[in-house]
């Protein structure tokens, strides 16, 4: 049985909705939720493997181009009244070198850190990553893309952050629109209503460039306030564009930041067709922090303690972990490099090590697509309880699916999918839980397994 729910449409306060450089507050998300499945009592979907997901979303990254240096004069031209765009950008390095990508990527891989890494496809109109990047040799561009594919892709979802992250591009000609104003900057585009198809065409244009670069992609990041006027349409457009260009099953996007009183759980939007063989959903995965490293232009003094202090006793990441909801930290790539000083990166390392020391056995780093997939399975799997057990109907598969089932007796559960058994062995501590295990509790059991798409039966 399926019901249709519709999240209340918030009347977005104009003042809050039109920030130029900032992500929107998650409370202003406006896409309808769509269908939700039947969920019987006595079964609860827990966090993956019983651990709190952690993730690191990096904005404004691309190949070689330092977006701090190249964006600043374009932002200054479009918004001449803004003092924040009158910084000495000419003295800043034009490049964030691949040596830094390697240093960062290898350190993160060594600590199991995962997240989202933007690759702006036509960064600040400097050049096309699938064609030519003026200022760098062909070899340097190809090597840079290869480094992203080999080092970053295994642990980071790649997103376009629209086409240029500065000027709006006429996708019929590939040129920036002639007028220069806030209306023709991607950060504040569009300023009139656009249809889902128009938005999807713009997103698909960005996605195709990354596809030409052999980069995989299942989602997009919005630059600043992109799409604030068309939030529901944008969500649908993400679904259309990502499915169209990459044939991805489960499109997602990053646009919103949850405030300290808001949930950081992903929002499943425009859910439809759950009872068909073509289930559709777009997953809106918010971050939960501001950028407290070096900022988008990379010249701020990092304040790493705002994420987590040295013993992870305080900070926004600590708050989210304690609440048991996804703890997603956000920053901008130039703010880790800091024009070569790398003070943001050093601050990030301290935060990551503090979280690892205090919460390493209660948390799990995940890519944004892994969080999106887990939440699609968590909220969209139909759960029917009967005397003998639990029947699951999953429109989407997900690794590490973890259920708490109220049950007497504590006999070992039996799992099967389309007649074949899914073996599970008993563990005695929550922190030993991983796919293929179960745990006895006072009031029932916890089971963790890789949930396949389709019907799974649990006998308890
Ligand atoms: Zn950005």
Tens digit of pLDDT at every position of the chain (460 positions): 344 333 322 333 333 333 355 788 888 888 999 999 989 999 999 999 999 999 999 999 999 999 999 999 999 999 999 999 999 999 999 999 999 999 999 999 999 999 999 999 999 999 999 999 999 999 999 999 999 999 999 999 999 999 999 999 999 999 999 999 999 999 999 999 999 999 999 999 999 999 999 999 999 999 999 999 999 999 999 999 999 999 999 999 999 999 999 999 999 999 999 989 999 999 999 999 999 999 999 999 999 999 999 999 999 999 999 999 999 999 999 999 999 999 999 999 999 999 999 999 999 999 999 999 999 999 999 999 988 899 999 999 999 999 999 988 767 899 999 889 999 999 999 999 999 999 999 889 999 999 999 999 999 8
How many C-beta neighbours within 10 Å does residue 142 have? 14
Ligand 1 center to 224 CA (angstroms): 6
- pLDDT for 24: 85
The pLDDT assigned to 27 comes to: 85
Distance of CA 212 to the CA centre of its chain: 22
Between the CA of 186 and the centroid of ligand 1 the distance, in Å, is: 10
Tell me which DSSP letter residue 228 carries. T
Q: For residue 453, how far is its CA from the centre of ligand 1 (angstroms)?
A: 35
437 CB contacts (<8 Å, ≥6 apart)?
Answer: 424, 425, 426, 427, 447, 448
* Alpha carbon of 37 to ligand 1 centroid (Å): 35
Q: What share of the chain is helix, strand, coil (3-state, %, to 5)?
A: 30, 25, 40
CA distances from 421 to 339, 415, 444, 445, 456 (A): 55, 6, 21, 18, 10
Q: pLDDT at position 139, please?
A: 98
**Interhelix angle 196-212/231-246, nearest 10 degrees:** 40
pLDDT on residue 128: 98
pLDDT of residue 23: 82
> 196: CA distance to ligand 1 center in Å?
22
Give the separation between CA 295 and CA 222, rounded to whole angstroms: 17
> How is residue 453 annotated by DSSP?
S
How many Å lie between the centroid of ligand 1 and the Cα of residue 43? 40
Q: Tell me the residues surrounding ligand 1 (ion) with CB < 5 Å.
A: 59-60, 223
pLDDT at 13: 31
- State residue 148's pLDDT score: 98
d(CA 181, CA 167): 9
CA of 106 to the centre of ligand 1 (A): 23
Distance, CA 223 to ligand 1 centroid (Å)?
Answer: 4
Measure 60 CA to ligand 1 centroid, in angstroms. 5
Entry pTM: 0.94
CB 244 within 8 A of CB 276: no
Q: Compute the distance from residue 357 Cα to the ligand 1 centre, in Å.
A: 31
């Amino acid at each position: 049985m399926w019901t249709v729910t519709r999240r209340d449409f918030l009347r977005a306060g104009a003042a809050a909705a039109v920030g130029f450089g900032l992500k929107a507050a998650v409370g202003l998300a406006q896409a309808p939720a769509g269908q939700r499945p039947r969920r019987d009592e006595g079964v609860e979907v827990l966090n993956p493997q019983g651990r709190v997901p952690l993730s690191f979303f990096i904005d404004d990254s691309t190949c070689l181009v330092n977006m701090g240096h190249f964006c600043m004069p374009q932002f200054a031209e479009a918004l001449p009244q803004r003092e924040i765009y009158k910084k000495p950008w000419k003295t800043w390095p034009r490049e964030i070198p691949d040596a830094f990508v390697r240093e960062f990527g290898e350190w993160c891989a060594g600590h199991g850190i995962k997240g989202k890494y933007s690759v702006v496809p036509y960064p600040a109109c400097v050049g096309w990553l699938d064609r030519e990047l003026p200022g760098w040799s062909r070899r340097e561009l190809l090597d840079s893309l290869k480094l992203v594919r080999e080092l970053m892709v295994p642990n980071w979802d790649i997103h376009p952050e629209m086409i240029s992250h500065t000027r709006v591009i006429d996708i019929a000609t590939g040129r920036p629109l002639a007028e220069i104003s806030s209306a023709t900057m991607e950060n504040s585009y569009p300023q009139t209503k656009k249809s889902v198809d128009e938005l999807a065409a713009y997103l698909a244009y960005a996605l195709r460039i990354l596809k030409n670069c052999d980069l995989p992609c299942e989602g997009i990041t919005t630059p600043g306030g992109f799409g604030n006027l068309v939030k529901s349409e944008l969500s649908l457009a993400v679904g259309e564009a990502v499915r169209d260009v990459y044939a991805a099953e489960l499109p997602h996007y990053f646009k919103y930041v949850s405030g300290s009183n808001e949930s950081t759980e992903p929002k499943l939007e425009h859910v439809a067709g759950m009872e068909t063989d073509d289930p559709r959903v777009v997953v809106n995965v918010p971050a939960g922090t501001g950028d407290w490293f070096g900022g988008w232009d990379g010249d701020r003094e990092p304040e790493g303690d705002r994420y987590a202090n040295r013993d992870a006793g305080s900070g926004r990441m600590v708050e989210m972990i304690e609440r048991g909801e996804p703890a997603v930290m956000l920053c901008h790539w130039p703010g880790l490099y800091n024009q070569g000083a790398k003070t943001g990166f050093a601050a990030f390392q301290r935060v990551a090590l503090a979280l690892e020391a205090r919460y390493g056995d209660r948390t799990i780093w995940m890519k944004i697509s892994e969080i999106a997939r887990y939440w699609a399975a968590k909220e969209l799997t139909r759960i029917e309880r009967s005397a003998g057990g639990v029947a699951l109907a999953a429109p989407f598969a997900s690794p590490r699916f973890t259920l708490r089932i109220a049950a007497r007796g504590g006999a070992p559960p039996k799992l099967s999918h389309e007649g074949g058994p899914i073996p599970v062995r008993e563990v005695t501590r929550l922190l030993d839980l991983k796919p293929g295990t179960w745990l006895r509790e006072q009031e029932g059991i916890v089971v963790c397994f890789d949930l396949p798409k389709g019907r799974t039966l649990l006998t308890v």
